[in-house]
Structure 1
Amino acid sequence: MVFKSKAQYKSDSLLNVLATSKKDTNKVNVLNNLAFFYFNSDIPKTKKYNAQALSLAKELNFLNGEALATNNLGIIIQKDGNYDSCIILQLKAFELYNKAGNKKGMAKSYSDIGLAYWRKAEFPKALDFQLKSLRIYEQLKDQKGLSYCYNMMGIIYRNLKKDDEAIDYYLKAIEIRKKINDERGLAASYQNIGNIYKSRLLEDTAMMYYSNSVALHKKINNKSAESMVISSMGDLKYEFKKYAEAKKYYLLALEINKNAIDSNNLATMYINIGNVNCRLKDFKNGEADINKGLNILQNLGDKEGVMSAYEMLAFSYQDQKNYEKALESYHEYILIRDSIMSNKEKEQVAELQTQYEVEKKDLQLGKNKAELEAKEKQNFIKNIIIVSIVLLLVLLFIIASVFYRKKQIEQKAAVQEELARQKDIRSRSVIEAEEKERIRIAKDLHDGVGQLLSAAKLNLSSLESKLDIQDKEQQLIFKNAMGLVDDSVKEVRSVSHNMMPNTLLKLGLASAVKEFITKIQGMPNLRVNLEIVGMDHRMEQEKETVLYRVIQEVVANIIKHAKASELTLQLIRHEKELSIVIEDNGVGFDTSKLNSFNGIGLKNIISRIEFVNGSVHFDSTVGKGTNVIIEIPI
């Protein structure tokens, strides 16, 4: 719906009147009329004259003039999608009209607020304000106001998928508009009826109504509305898969109004052109145009438009067999569609309509009761048939959607499974390589360096027996050398054993951990507690090796960094999992910085536990020690 005002003058006449007007209420009216005149052709001028009208009306305390300028400012900013600000301004205009006792102005503000809510796709609120406006127009017997409300209510019911109710209200609007020769209103109603015939795939009938609408819009020079109707003609050709003809109408619509098009219509043009390009297999340009329109509509908060854009993107991706993106777009479409028309909103709409019908019946006192009952019965049967058909279609659609989604999920699961398998293979290869390298180094230390040191010790012992060293200082030096060689032999054996303990290979994890803890229990200032439960049976050697390395790494970190005086290690085997708990009373650390640590120790622990499909949790507070909890499925 576009700007409404009483004045319908030519711009030159209005400007002449403005030039000779005094600073009074008449000048406010002329400024408001000029703002209306330029609304569809020159928005900057509209804003200019509207601002002047609002300023002068406030200065003169002219309530009706201020209310009209305030209401019209809401309509101006609504053109760019600022619906919430528009509603605030029009509620203020309603209060000004109410204060001035102008019921017609109050009705118009209500109706314009309903229009803003309709553009926001909040249909229950939109219908509520249209009903409020309708009641006032009925009291005033204002035919033009009634025709507007009837037409707008038809649009709302059309959005609610109630075409029969929509047609009833459109016909009421047309009947009045013909009587009062409202060409602008007739053009809009013709377009609305054409939309219904388009949805029913009656091409010739719909084109007839659209053509009538275009002719009237041309007559009154309403380029914006003319562009919209021509775009609808393109939609109709699209429905019949006449894509080349549809593209012609869309481009013509954009060309007609390219200098004055508002954001909402511009978005619609882009989406329509993009969609038809996709149907013509020009996917690159098609998707680019649809996304242009989608970005505009998202900024405007136009849920209906955003929903349609996602639906078109879904079809485009489906045609390209890009099922993952198609599914994503379709999911967004479903979410927005459901939010627009929830069950709660349906109940609100039904309640509002019932309230209005009750009030009408009270006023008419049972007039034409028999005819009303017959019509209601006929509508009831018709609605049952329509609802049954719709439910059947919805059921078929749901079945198709479920089947399609199942296929997509299966494909995605197969991809994820393969990625997981490849990751497992890579991790297994890295760990196996590490263990092989450990075994090699351990053997080299034991068989190479260890044997050399042992041979050196034997040679020194032999040398000692042959030499008769009398000097005590030389005896001490020789004895220290023998001690160093002996310590080196022990250290090499210890390192070799830690890298690949025989106990782990022969007796399993529990025995190896016991041996490992026994070695560190003699450390000064550290008390070590070990508890092993249910470890009577061995696990896979691969898991045992990984867990032994992890325990070694955690305990080493505690000894090196925690400054702990007590360490507790628990290995508890359950029916389906193995739990490892390592606790210390050391300095602790900030777990929120866990990902920022530069060391590879914690990363190795996490990666090794992930390799055996386990989980590791670090629970620590600065100054209060650390708990490391590891859980492994068995």
Structure 2
Amino acid sequence: MICSLSYAQNSQKDSAYFYFKKAIEFSNNNKHFGAYKNYIKAKNIYVYLNEIDSVAECNLELFELIASQNNLEDNSKPYLDDYYEYALKKNDSLKLLVASNSYASYFWDSDTIELSIKYYKNSLRLTENIKLRKYRVTVYANLAYLFTKTKTDSASYYFKKTLSLYTKEDKNQLFATYINYAVFFQKQNKFEEAIIQLNNAAKIEPTAYKLKYNKILYGKFANCYQEIGYYKKAYEAYEKYNIYRDSLNNTAQNIAISDLDVKYQTAEKDKKILETEAKRLKNRNLLIGSLLFILLAGTIAVLSLKNSKRKRKLAEQDKELETQKNLTLLKEQELTTINAMVDGQEKERKRIAEDLHDNLGSVLATLKLHFENLKMNREKKKINQEMLFDKTEGLIDEAYLKVRSIAHAKNAGVLANQGLLVAIQMMAEKISSADKIQIEVIDFGLDKRLENSLEISVFRITQELITNIIKHANAKNATINISLYDKNLNIIIEDDGLGFDIKKVNLKNGMGISSIKTRVSHLGGTFNVDSTKGKGSSIIIDIPIS
């Protein structure tokens, strides 16, 4: 009876382990619903068996899975709470540290940022107990980022603490931290201090992703030098940026083609091995058949049948090889088609009508807001008239420069130097400066550049949606929430304007929405609108990043 019970328990453990491993496999393949269901099945069995360590592991995996996804209708926090209680009972400093860091990431949002900072500080206390430099430096880096949104003095302190913990071997981390420190100073318009940090990064030679890192570095250099009027240095930095960008693009394409060549050559070798083996077996069978023809006629028939099967296998291998050749050619054609499509998109965007709609729309809308302010304050003079005139004149100059650039531009404009996030932030600052609508930009995970044509498409889509808010929503506030997580770019644009009854509006009509939906669909993404009359609107866009 005892043996029977032990066997049943082992069988259940095997089932739970099977579900757990299957959940990990689903998660690695971005099949999140399958992963969630299998984690739940594994956890239920472990609960029944009172395997508390395994239950805790399932709780932690469920928290991380649900917290990273928007389409799983479950609250992630109870799973983390259960894991935290388990870590407390175990009095395990490392598990408590994992729980504290997970709480910090859960409260990462701007509304609960103070809670996130509290848990990261608790993580620092725990790292002192277990003396893990790797965890400690990661916590310092996260605190530095969070304090950039609240207390700049504290952010600078934690950046310095992060840098002090790196060793000479941590070249990639040092390089990235100096770049982030420079971006922190850029956002405060302290471009000279940003250049100091960029120079520190330039002294380090990364051990990986050299082309990508140097492309980012010289892009930042060009922007900072331009802002302080050092145009010669800005031009030199921009030239280096172009060199690294072109090298990076060429390397990526050559790697893709090289991989296809390797697969083709491997298939050729496999075919030759099979042919040689088949010839050897055929000769052996013929020799045996000639010696035993009279006595072993039945054996000869069997061997002939086996030989026929091998021939069919060779024929199937030939067919598979031909298919592989076709796939190789298709992949090469696909690469050529993709490059041609990207070039065609860029040329099309240089057409005057498209640029007038996408590039000048937001500037002219902002300019209109400034003129309305001038009209309203002409008598009341609640706002400094001289300042309004200066801002309006600046926008007119900018509009002129954009019109001029349409005729002469040979690249993607603001995105070529600064990237998607900085371009969106600059757009939001310019529009907000008109004092008619305040636009906040919230970002997460955009610590590296995306592919150039994708950045341009996303910026144009965002720019057109903000222009629509200015023209039609009569909103006071708007938010652009852009995040990159697990190879998925998520953009949420919200406003507190008039809103509309989505059931009574045909979204297929109108050039703006129809055009945006077409662009998002072309990028393989999804586009959703959520609006209630009198309560504002939300636009949600999800674009997969390959």
Q: Give the TM bin, normalised by the shorter chain.
A: 0.3 to 0.5
TM-score when normalising by structure 2? 0.35
TM-score when normalising by structure 1? 0.31
